[in-house]
Every structure is written in C-alpha cells, then in structure tokens.
C-alpha cells in the first residue's frame, strides 16, 4: 500500500513529524508567511515611512519564504541552514527591541517657542 502525499496546505502548516532526530528544524513556512504579511501591512508601511522616509522592501521575509518552500519540497541543506540563521536573526531582533520605546524621530527642543523665533530670524536675515 502506498501512502498518499500530504496536500500543500498540510505540508505548509504542519511540522515534519516523521523524523525523530534531535537536530534543529527551521520555523514552519506559515510562520514566515505571517512575518511577510506583517511586514507588508499598511500599518508597518506607515510607521516605517514615518521613521525612515521610505517603505520597507520586505526582501528578507520574501527570501525566507522562498527558501522555506525550497527546503520543504526539495530538501536542500543550504536552505535549511539559511532558515536556521534567519530564525536566529529574528529572535535576536525581537530580544533587542522587546519593551523598548521606539527611537525618536524628531529632535527634542528645550524651548520650542525660542527655537521657532531663532529659525524665523535666520530666514529673515538671509532674505
């Protein structure tokens, strides 16, 4: 009797439970897809544009998805190693920014009214 292969959705959503080895496994493809969706969301685009002045490209997330499918369907070891490193980068990034406020975009001013007057005076002097 031959086993029926899992459907694509089952293959993407479920972890590989067939091997009992203790070697590390990369995140599931669906987790990489969720990260890409979060990166391409309107809220993330707005925040990223507001802080950095450009939209996020989400290339890292796209590459992770591509490598995940390649690893799942073709079982390339180099893709697995890339995914394990990517997962570690994601964990490091999350640990470094957990419970920390966002970086400040604008320069703080001690006395905004005086700073405004200085700016207006220098502009009038230039004219």
- 90 versus 16: the higher-pLDDT residue is 90
Residue (of 93, 92, 97, 29) closest to 63 by Cα position: 29
pLDDT of residue 1: 47
pLDDT digits (tens, 9 = 90+) for 9-41: 555 555 554 555 688 889 999 999 999 999 999
Mean pLDDT (the chain) is 79
**Separation in Å, CA 94 to CA 3, 35, 97, 118, 125:** 40, 12, 5, 41, 49
pLDDT digits (tens, 9 = 90+) for 50-88: 878 889 999 999 999 999 999 999 988 999 999 999 999
The pTM of the full predicted model, rounded to 2 decimals, is 0.63
């Amino acid at each position: 009797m031959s086993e029926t292969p899992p459907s694509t959705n089952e293959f993407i959503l479920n972890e590989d439970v067939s091997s009992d080895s203790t070697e590390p496994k990369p995140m599931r493809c669906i987790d990489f897809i969720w990260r890409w969706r979060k990166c391409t969301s309107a809220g993330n685009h707005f925040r990223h544009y507001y802080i950095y002045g450009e939209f996020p490209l989400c290339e890292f997330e796209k590459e992770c998805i591509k490598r995940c499918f390649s690893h799942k369907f073709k079982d390339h070891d180099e893709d697995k190693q890339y995914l394990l490193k990517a997962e570690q980068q994601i964990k490091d990034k999350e640990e470094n920014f957990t419970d920390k406020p966002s970086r400040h975009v604008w320069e703080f001013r001690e006395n905004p009214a005086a700073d405004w007057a200085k700016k207006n005076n220098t502009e009038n002097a230039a004219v």
